[in-house]
Amino acid sequence: MLPASFFLLTWLHASPEKASSSVEACEDLHVELARSPVVGPREVCISPGRLTDFVFDVPIGAVEVQDEVRFVEVNRGRRMLGLMPPSDLQTGERLRLTVELTGGESSQTITFMLVAQQGLATHQVQVFRDPRPAESLRQETEAERAKNRRLQEENERLRSQFEQHQGLGYLLAMKRIGTHGVKAHALAPDSPAESTGGLSFFNGRAFRIDASVTAEISLLNNGSAPWIATGALLMNEGGETFRGLQLLLAESIEPGKRGTVVVELIATDSEAQGHLTLTIWDDSGRAITLTPVVFPTLYEETPGRPRSMPPPTRPPAGE
């Protein structure tokens, strides 16, 4: 029997009121170095055709942008930096940005991780090396209150809609599942997973329906700090990245505990085939790579008939 979480995640993907975790993750940022010194790179969303600005309260010095030659524009000012990302940016691609903060008795550097998103970008990142003015703090507090109210209303709306539309019948009505239903099997990587930060593979399952493939991965956190997935990448045997992979579920995994990550890719039965490689990471760069990840097929192979074609139907009696 398929898990209830699979039906919930599939329903959310099909619903017009889609979960907005990616949108929230790409909102404007305020970085206060005086209150919370940066330990690792902070993640910033970028997207082709969308400008992302960095504004600093002190003058900036050296700026290092990974693969800068690919960027459409990199505009440096005395206290600001504007980035127009490469037009060939791939979803999930990660590029490092390092900025030197000058002024005062000594300089300081801050590093960001620019993460490519499809149609989503952080509009502005404000960096404060000195304590922030009271008015700036008040404005952010008001913005956070409004955001929390909006999220609470959205959660209530989603919960109400899900309670009204549950089960397999709704998925069939939404044409998410065809006549061949849902195919599923266990994931069993041939070799130990490559990981950084104490992550290990516990178990997993792969699913396929007419319109998509889904992987449910259970991980064990052997590290000393909590871990939560913030990005994922799926590649074929030739090293090509599949566009549009979505991170549907990412549980916070405490040290010594297990948690689940679910990813989904829109794909027909002839796509996302073969031995694939899945990499999942968090904001600090702790990552795990699983290979091979093999999704089931909807149609069994029959000699003389292409795999992606459905089996022939039986003729009516009497013919």
**The pair of three-digit structure tokens given for residue 124, joined into one six-digit string:** 């502005």
What pLDDT, on a 0 to 100 scale, did the predictor assign at position 30?
84
Strands 212-221, 194-195: parallel, antiparallel or unpaired by DSSP? unpaired
Spatial distance between the Cα atoms of 172 and 213, rounded to a whole number of angstroms: 16
- Residue 17 included in any domain: yes
**23 and 118 Cβ atoms separated by less than 8 Å:** no
pLDDT band at 172 (very low <50, low <70, confident <90, very high): low
Amino acid occupying residue 88: D
219 and 272 in a single domain? The answer is yes
What pLDDT, on a 0 to 100 scale, did the predictor assign at position 38?
61
Radius of gyration over alpha carbons of the chain, in Å? Answer: 23
Say whether the peptide bond before residue 292 is cis (omega within 30 degrees of 0): yes
Burial of 282 (0-12, 13-18, 19+ CB in 10 A): buried
What pLDDT, on a 0 to 100 scale, did the predictor assign at position 14?
43
Amino acid occupying residue 224: S
At 86, is the secondary structure helix, strand, or coil?
A: coil
Cα separations (Å) of 4 from 7, 11, 166, 277, 292? 5, 11, 10, 26, 26
8-state DSSP, 70? G
Angle, alpha carbons 104-41-120 (nearest 5°):
115
Q: Which residues are within 8 A (CB) of 294 and not within 5 positions of it... i.e. 6 or more apart?
A: 187, 206, 274, 275, 276
191 and 133 in a single domain? The answer is no
What pLDDT, on a 0 to 100 scale, did the predictor assign at position 270?
86
Domain region containing 79: 4-143
Going by C-alpha positions, the residue among 256, 250, 245 that lies closest to residue 293 is 245
Sheet holding 231-235, edge to edge: 194-195, 287-293, 276-281, 231-235
* CATH number of the domain encompassing residue 45: 2.60.40
- Residue 317 included in any domain: no
What pLDDT, on a 0 to 100 scale, did the predictor assign at position 43?
93
Share of the chain above pLDDT 70, in %: 72
Spatial distance between the Cα atoms of 140 and 132, rounded to a whole number of angstroms: 11
**Final residue of a domain: which of 86, 120, 143?**
143
* CATH number of the domain encompassing residue 261: 2.60.40.10
264 and 188 in a single domain? The answer is yes
137 and 208 in a single domain? The answer is no
What pLDDT, on a 0 to 100 scale, did the predictor assign at position 3?
44
Strands 80-84, 199-208: parallel, antiparallel or unpaired by DSSP? unpaired
- Residue 211 included in any domain: yes
The total domain count for the chain is 2
**198 and 258 Cβ atoms separated by less than 8 Å:** no
Q: What's the mean pLDDT when you consider all of the chain? A: 79
- Residue 162 included in any domain: no
The mean pLDDT of 150-174, rounded to a whole number, is: 66
What pLDDT, on a 0 to 100 scale, did the predictor assign at position 300?
62
Amino acid occupying residue 193: A
> Which is more confident, 317 or 109?
109
pTM of the model: 0.47
Angle, alpha carbons 232-265-293 (nearest 5°):
65
